[in-house]
Homo-oligomer: A and B are copies of this chain.
Amino acid sequence: MSERYQKGLKQLQLMNEDSYELLKKNLDDIAPDLARFVAEFPYGEIYTRKNLDLKSREIATVAALTAMGTAPLQLKSHINGALNVGCSKEEIIEVIIQMAVYAGFPAAINGIMIAKEVFENKED
C-alpha cells in the first residue's frame, strides 16, 4: 500500500468513509485499481492540498457536480461529504440554487432533489 493510498484513506475518514467503502466494494471484482486511484489521487493528492479549506473544496465539488448534471450518485456522496466537513444544510442548498444561474434551472432543481434525499437519510 503506497504512502499516497494511506494518506487518501486517512483523508476519506475525515470526509466520507462510508461512500468510499461502498465504492470499493462495488469496484472490487471489476476494476479495483479505479477504487485505488480514487483514494490516491482525489483524496491522497487533491483534498489534502494546502491553500483551500475542506469546506470550500466540498462547495466547489457540489457546485460542479450540480452544474454537470451527469453524476447524481457522486453528488449525493459529496453532499454527505460537505455535511461531514462542516457545511450546513443551508449552505449546501444555496450552492445548488446558485447553479440555476450557470447551468440552468433543471440542474438546480435536480440537485436540490438529491440534497433532499441525503438530508432525509441523515435524519433517520
Task: Count copies of this chain in the complex.
Answer: 6
Q: Which of A3-47 contact B (CB under 8 A)?
A: 23, 26-27, 29-31, 33-34, 37-38, 41-42, 45-47
Question: Main SS of chain A's interface residues?
Answer: helix
Bound together, the chains give a CA A63 to CA B70 distance in angstroms of 15
Bound together, the chains give a CA A93 to CA B34 distance in angstroms of 10
Digitize A99-120: 1 where CB-to-B-CB distance is under 8 Å, 0 elsewhere. Answer: 1111111111110110110010
Q: Interface of A with B (CB < 8 Å)?
A: 23, 26-27, 29-31, 33-34, 37-38, 41-42, 45-47, 49, 51-52, 55-57, 59-71, 73-74, 88, 90-91, 93-110, 112-113, 115-116, 119
